[in-house]
């Protein structure tokens, strides 16, 4: 046993050193999207490319492979859900995948992603897809090369999806999303037929940026985001990133003429941050201290953004404070505000979509990126295909590419296979929340009293502190007692929306 323990300590030490490089790369990435001067972009690309190569070399080190092969047959791996077992299992899985990728491909992907994100930002600002087309085409060529190198049994999309949702398949995700779509379509249609509609103009008054930042930060701290271990900044496309066990960065963007943009963006990213801050710091950089999957991570952001912050009890507590912070809300009634922030209406922008139609935005992206990866859709034809899908799924057509095909940064960043995790997150969130509500005896009263700690502690114990000990499928069943289903999300939506629209 002593020999195995020594080998395990070598693996742990190696992983901790790799985490230093990874978080350094994350720090440069955060700076690139928040503070970096434009002229610094070319050199930043070289820095990111260099670090990607260093990290890949460490993660595919032959000695690490030998250590993991030895440990995988040892007593330390006997229980795959123990801290040692999870560490060995996940690191070996990661090693076996990454060793298939040529270092030159890894570096070129990093270089292209860095360049493409700057091209995308400029293209969106100028509403000019043609200037983005070439680098986007190159990105999909590289992602197909990545899928081919990794190998797959079904679709090449499987190889890329696995990076974000381990052990998941394209076919299963398609099935789950189809079930969700089939339940959503009649609900959205019934809402449209109700002819009821809130006064959304109460959300489109003047809300000064400084006041939004103060109010959003206050609410994020109240639900549990620790600003002693994190901070909030502004970016073109909001994100959350961890630069270390006690350094979590969240971002948002402000619109002084539309209240929900920044606030719900802040709470979404704060949900991600609360998950990161709830991971076990003593295992930082190792599987017991890392998130299970992006779907599970997204469940935490969507839970706080939608199931908590779009609930009426939440605003029973915060609405008087909002009226104090924003004179534009002084004459607004709580019921009118609550209806306005939960209005169901097909919209162009994914990040501003309502809960009921949001997943239709994801289906569009899921289908298009599979077609691009397979070569069934040319990049040059993407804007037209995008607009056709929006007309088919949502009954609207983008007036331009800036609010159409150029609205998301994901493909520029090489995040192909990422989008379906958003819908999986919505499903996980509803199922987790239903379990928490039942176990904690009704969360609405707590929210109305401004109490969020009990839910946060429950999530920390059941989800955050578990790290990667379980798969996403195992975790949802452990926590809720049932496999993943679309029904809790549909029940949540019907429960909130039926009274508003008198269904």
Note the pLDDT tens digit of each residue in 410-446. 999 999 999 999 999 999 999 999 999 999 999 999 9
pLDDT tens readout for residues 199-256:
999 999 999 999 999 999 999 999 999 999 999 999 988 999 999 999 999 999 999 9
89 CB-near residues (< 8 Å, 6+ apart): 72, 77, 80, 287
Domain 170-501 has CATH 1.10.1370.30: yes
User: Percent of the chain scored above 70 by pLDDT?
Assistant: 100
- pLDDT score at 154: 85
Q: What is the pLDDT of residue 352?
A: 83
Q: Say what the pLDDT of residue 1 is.
A: 57
CA triplet 312, 316, 318: central angle to 5 degrees?
A: 110
Overall average pLDDT of the 167-185 stretch? 92
CB atoms inside a 10 Å sphere around CB 346 = 17
**Rounded distance, CA 43 to CA 25, Å?**
14
pLDDT for 351: 83
Which of these is catalytic: 32, 165, 269, 355? Answer: 269
Q: What proportion of the chain, given as a percentage, has pLDDT over 90?
A: 95
Q: What is the mean pLDDT of the chain?
A: 95
Segment 256-286, tens digit of pLDDT: 999 999 999 999 999 999 999 999 999 999 9
pTM exceeding 0.85? yes
Q: Give the helix/strand (H/E) hosting 249.
A: strand 247-252
What DSSP string describes 453-486?
Answer: HHHHHHHHHHTGGGTTSS-HHHHHHHHHSS---S
pLDDT at residue 115 is higher than 90 = yes
Active site residue 269: yes
pLDDT at 110 over 80: yes
| Mean pLDDT value across residues 88-111 | 96
Tens of pLDDT, residue by residue over 442-484, are: 999 999 999 999 999 999 999 999 999 999 999 999 999 999 9
Among 84-98, 289-303, 343-357, 400-414, the minimum mean pLDDT is found in 343-357
Beta bridge partners of 248: 230, 242
What is the full DSSP assignment across 269-303?
Answer: HHHHHHHHHHS-GGGTTSGGGS-S-HHHHHHHHHI
Domain-by-domain residue ranges, the chain? Answer: 2-100, 170-501
Dihedral in degrees, nearest 10, Cα atoms 278, 279, 284, 288 = 170
């Amino acid at each position: 046993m002593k020999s195995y323990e020594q080998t395990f300590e070598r693996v742990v030490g190696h992983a901790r050193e790799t985490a230093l490089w990874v978080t350094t790369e994350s720090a440069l990435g955060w700076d690139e999207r928040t503070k970096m001067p434009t002229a610094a972009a070319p050199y930043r690309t070289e820095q990111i490319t260099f670090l990607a190569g260093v990290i890949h070399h460490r993660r595919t080190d032959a000695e690490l492979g030998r250590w993991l092969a030895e440990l995988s047959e040892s007593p330390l791996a006997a229980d795959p859900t123990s801290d040692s077992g999870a560490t060995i299992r996940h690191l070996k899985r990661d090693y076996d995948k990454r060793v298939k990728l040529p270092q030159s491909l890894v570096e070129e992907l990093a270089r292209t992603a860095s360049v493409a994100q700057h091209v995308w930002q400029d293209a969106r600002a100028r509403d000019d897809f043609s200037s983005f087309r070439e680098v986007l085409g190159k990105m999909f060529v590289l992602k197909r090369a990545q899928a081919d190198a990794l190998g797959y049994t079904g679709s090449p999309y499987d190889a890329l999806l696995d990076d974000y949702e381990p052990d998941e398949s394209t076919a299963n995700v398609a099935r789950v999303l189809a079930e969700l779509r089939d339940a959503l379509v009649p609900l959205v249609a019934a809402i449209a037929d109700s002819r009821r509609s809130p006064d959304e103009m109460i959300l489109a008054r003047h809300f000064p940026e400084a006041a939004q930042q103060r109010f959003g930060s206050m609410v994020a701290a109240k639900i549990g985001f620790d600003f002693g271990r994190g901070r909030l900044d502004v970016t073109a496309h909001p994100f959350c990133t961890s630069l270390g066990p006690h350094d979590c960065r969240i971002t948002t963007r402000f619109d002084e003429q539309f209240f929900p943009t920044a606030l719900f963006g802040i709470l979404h990213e704060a949900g991600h941050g609360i998950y990161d801050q709830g991971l076990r710091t003593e295992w930082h950089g190792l599987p017991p201290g890392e998130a299970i999957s992006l779907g599970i991570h997204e469940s935490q952001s969507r839970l706080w953004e939608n199931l908590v912050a779009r609930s009426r009890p939440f605003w029973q507590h915060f609405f008087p404070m909002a009226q104090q912070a924003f004179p534009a809300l002084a004459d607004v009634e709580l019921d009118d505000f609550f209806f306005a922030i939960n209005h169901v209406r097909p919209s162009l922008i994914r990040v501003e979509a309502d809960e009921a139609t949001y997943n239709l935005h994801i289906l569009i992206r899921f289908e298009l990126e599979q077609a691009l990866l397979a070569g069934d859709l040319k990049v040059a034809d993407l804007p037209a295909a995008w607009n056709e899908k929006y007309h088919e799924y949502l009954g609207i057509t983008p007036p331009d590419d800036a609010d159409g095909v150029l609205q998301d940064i994901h493909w520029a960043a090489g995040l192909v296979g990422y989008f379906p995790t958003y819908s999986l997150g919505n499903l996980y969130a509803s199922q987790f929340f239903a379990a928490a509500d039942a176990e904690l005896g009704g969360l609405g009263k707590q929210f109305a009293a401004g109490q969020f700690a009990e839910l946060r502690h429950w999530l920390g114990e059941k989800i955050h502190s578990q790290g990667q000990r379980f798969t996403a499928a195992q975790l949802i069943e452990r926590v809720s007692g049932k496999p993943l289903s679309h029904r809790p999300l549909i029940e949540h939506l019907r429960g909130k929306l039926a009274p508003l629209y008198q269904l």
